[in-house]
Amino acid sequence: MPSITTPPPLVTPEDEAYDAARQAWNLAADPRPAAVATATTVDEVRAVIAHARSQGLRVTAQGTGHLASALPSLERTLLLKTQMAGPIAVDAAARTARVPAGTTWEPVVMAAAEHGLTALHGSAPDVGVVGYTLGGGLSFYAREYGMAANHVRAIEVVTADGEPRRVDGEHDPDLFWALRGGGGAFGVVTAIEIELLPIERVYAGAIFWPASDAPAVMRAWVDWCATAPSSITSSMRILNLPPLPEVPEPLRGVPHIAFDGAFVGDAAAGAESIAPLRAAAPPKIDMFAEVPATAVMRIHGDPEEPVPYLSRDAMLGPLDEAAIDAFLAVAGEGSGSPLVAAELRQLGGALREAPAGAGVTGSMPAEFMLFGVGMMMAPEHAEAMPPALERVISAMRPWETGLRYLNFAEAGGSAEACFAADAYARLVRTRREWDPDGLFVSSHDIS
Ligand SMILES: Cc1cc2nc3c(=O)[nH]c(=O)nc-3n(C[C@H](O)[C@H](O)[C@H](O)COP(=O)(O)OP(=O)(O)OC[C@H]3O[C@@H](n4cnc5c(N)ncnc54)[C@H](O)[C@@H]3O)c2cc1C
């Protein structure tokens, strides 16, 4: 490799630009790194790594900061924002896209759609492709196609020794395995080559009912999940949306129960599949329809601007009557829950088993994902939200599988909580091999 050039400008706590530079997408996160740099080329990434080493600093890579609440103290750490220059290169014949780090899902999905293709993106268009995929990647196509990390052809990464590498199933396969689900502890990813899906249209959307219908709707959904085809992936949420202008008028300030998801197939088959849910209670709003695949990015209605929030998560096994009652008692009508959302995502299908050659997060060993979100908009929320989130998690503890999903484990901590013991031991070995000095700081520690 040519010699390393000077690093891009560093922003330090003494600089006026520091607060803007360190800000993450989750505004409740308060990262205070020793310095912030933004890299747009591989050489700049190498220069930042060399500079950090020379100053005795560690390095943490960030795309958007959606997972910033999980980061540990960054006191002796340089925050490296990866905004790599270059196009999203779609190879329509090969059904792949090379995506520079820092790119969010929306431009990738739009570029793929020009060729009648789509990607295994998540529920928000502005989540980073790299961070999402390094954490596993659970999409609304997951029950049919599995984790997004199972659809990665190659990863371009600068490792702790400052060397740029392109890793895949044949080149540094251990590193390739660890990067596909183990997060950002193994290097700074500069680009990722992902597979695209030949899907142009889907039957997708959301249905809303008043929260008073939650017992009937939730029971119908849990029953339906047991036999639903893998061609549909869905979520069920109790929503308490604030009375803000950006919230659709009928949903403002009134609790609802919402079903959303995507069915890969034609509209008639999709409608037949979700008929038991429509029959559970008369919907207040029914937006399920045949739509272009690009619409799937917004069916969940996630915020697309930075917001302050706190969340808690758990993976759950099969849910019985007692589980539904327990969930509704802490999140449903009359519970007094201040949470903006208490969500269950449907797993199963192709998520049950890791395909041959998968990365560390090749499957999802659970039936449902539990996710609670509290907005931190006012000072009193700092007191109200943590116990409200804890109530939901505690209520569902009897159904927990014990493992967590890295992308949703926003409270951070050790990655050990996210993996089976043998997988975690292999991650630790791989980390020691590729980052023996512990240069990289990631959302979930691996050591
Ligand atoms: C509104 C919302 C909706 C979401 N929906 C889904 C969903 O449907 N399915 C799902 O699976 N997840 C979902 N997530 C979780 C999301 O996938 C994770 O937060 C993910 O880590 C975000 O990636 P990012 O790059 O945007 O965030 P960042 O905070 O920038 O990155 C997260 C971590 O990834 C690593 N990383 C990022 N970039 C690099 C890089 N260039 N090199 C090395 N490491 C890097 C770092 O460890 C970093 O701490 C959602 C999150 C939010 C807030």
Q: What is the pLDDT along the chain (447 residues), one digit of tens a residue?
A: 545 678 899 999 999 999 999 999 999 999 999 999 999 999 999 999 999 999 999 999 999 999 999 999 999 999 999 999 999 999 999 999 999 999 999 999 999 999 999 999 999 999 999 999 999 999 999 999 999 999 999 999 999 999 999 999 999 999 999 999 999 999 999 999 999 999 999 999 999 999 999 999 999 999 999 999 999 999 999 999 988 888 889 999 999 999 999 999 999 999 999 999 999 999 999 999 999 999 999 999 999 999 999 999 999 999 999 999 999 999 999 999 999 999 999 999 999 999 999 999 999 999 999 999 999 999 999 999 999 999 999 999 999 999 999 999 999 999 999 999 999 999 999 999 999 999 999 999 999
Burial 397-410 (b: 16+ CB within 10 A, else e): eebeeebbbbbbbb
181 sits in the region (left: phi over 0; alpha: psi -120 to 50; else beta) called left
Backbone angles phi, psi at 291, to 5 degrees: -140, 160
Task: Output the CA 82–ligand 1 centroid distance in Å.
Answer: 13
**The pair of three-digit structure tokens given for residue 407, joined into one six-digit string:** 């992308």
196 sits in the region (left: phi over 0; alpha: psi -120 to 50; else beta) called beta
Query: What pLDDT shows up at residue 76?
Result: 97
Task: Output the CA 443–ligand 1 centroid distance in Å.
Answer: 9
Question: Best substitution site from 133, 134, 445 to test ligand 1's pocket, by max atoms within 8 Å of Cβ?
Answer: 134
Indicate which atom in ligand 1 lies nearest the CA of residue 82: 41
CATH number of 201-408: 3.40.462.20, 3.40.50.300, 3.40.50.10470, 3.30.1330.10?
3.40.462.20
Cβ neighbors of 280 (< 8 A, separation 6 or more) are 209, 213, 216, 217, 219, 220, 221
Query: Are the beta carbons of 1 and 159 closer than 8 angstroms?
Result: no
Handedness of CA 365, 405, 97, 300 (dihedral sign): positive
Same fold, 18-82 and 89-198+419-434: no
Question: C-alpha distances in angstroms, 348 versus 16, 143, 196, 228?
Answer: 49, 6, 21, 10
Indicate which atom in ligand 1 lies nearest the CA of residue 127: 26
Query: Are the beta carbons of 409 and 69 closer than 8 angstroms?
Result: no
In words, the CATH class of domain 89-198+419-434 is alpha beta
Query: Are the beta carbons of 61 and 440 closer than 8 angstroms?
Result: yes
For ligand 1, atom 52, which residue shows the shortest CA distance?
A: 66
CA geometry: angle at 370 spanning 365 and 372, to 5°?
Answer: 155
Ligand 1, CB within 6 Å, residue ranges = 61-68, 71, 82, 101, 122-124, 127-128, 130-132, 134-138, 183-184, 188-189, 302, 407, 442-443
Task: Output the CA 346–ligand 1 centroid distance in Å.
Answer: 20
Query: What pLDDT shows up at residue 3?
Result: 53
How far from the centroid of its chain's Cα atoms is residue 303's Cα?
A: 14
For ligand 1, atom 49, which residue shows the shortest CA distance?
A: 443
Of 297, 379, 298, 308, which is closest to residue 340 (Cα–Cα)? 308
Query: What pLDDT shows up at residue 4?
Result: 61
Cα–Cα dist 153/148, whole Å: 11
Query: What pLDDT shows up at residue 244?
Result: 86
Query: Are the beta carbons of 232 and 262 closer than 8 angstroms?
Result: yes
Cα–Cα dist 354/351, whole Å: 7
Question: Best substitution site from 155, 361, 407 to test ligand 1's pocket, by max atoms within 8 Å of Cβ?
Answer: 407
Query: What pLDDT shows up at residue 369?
Result: 98
Place of tokens 């997972």: 67
Question: Best substitution site from 66, 121, 159, 346 to test ligand 1's pocket, by max atoms within 8 Å of Cβ?
Answer: 66
Whole-number CA gyration radius for the chain: 21
Task: Output the CA 132–ligand 1 centroid distance in Å.
Answer: 4
Indicate which atom in ligand 1 lies nearest the CA of residue 444: 47
Query: What pLDDT shows up at residue 323?
Result: 98
Cα–Cα dist 58/47, whole Å: 13
For ligand 1, atom 21, which residue shows the shortest CA distance?
A: 131
For ligand 1, atom 3, which residue shows the shortest CA distance?
A: 124
Fold exhibited by the domain 18-82:
3.30.43
**The pair of three-digit structure tokens given for residue 197, joined into one six-digit string:** 């899906």
Where along the chain do its domains lie? 18-82, 89-198+419-434, 201-408
